[in-house]
Amino acid sequence: MQRQTIAEINLSALRANYRLLASLASPAPVMAAVKADAYGHGAIEVSRCLADEGCRIFAVVTLGEALELREAGIAGDILVMGVADPCRADEVLAADVVVTLHGLEHATEFEAAARAAGGRVRCHIMADTGMHRLGMDFRRTVELAARLKGADGLAVEGLMTHMSHSEQADLDRTEFQLANLRRVISELESRGLRPPVVHAANSATLMRRPDARFDAVRPGITLYGINPCRAYARGVPLRLVMTLSAPVALVKQVQPGEGVSYGHLWRATVPSRIAALPIGYRDGYPRALTNRAVVRVEGGLAPVVGSVCMDTTLIDVTAIPEAAVGSRATLIEADADSPLSVYALAELLDTIPHEIVCRIGSRVRRVFIDEG
Return the active site residues.
35, 262
- In angstroms, the Cα distances linking 147 to 167, 360, 371 are 35, 43, 51
Burial-class residue 345 by CB neighbours within 10 Å (0-12, 13-18, 19+). buried
How far apart CA 101 and CA 124 sit, in angstroms, is 6
Euclidean distance between the first and the last CA atom of the chain, given in angstroms as a whole number: 31
Furthest C-alpha separation in the chain: 79
How far apart CA 60 and CA 163 sit, in angstroms, is 17
How far apart CA 140 and CA 4 sit, in angstroms, is 53
How far apart CA 217 and CA 202 sit, in angstroms, is 7
Q: Which residue, among 118, 124, 75, 123, has the nearest Cα to 95 in the 3D structure?
A: 75
Type of residue numbered 360: I
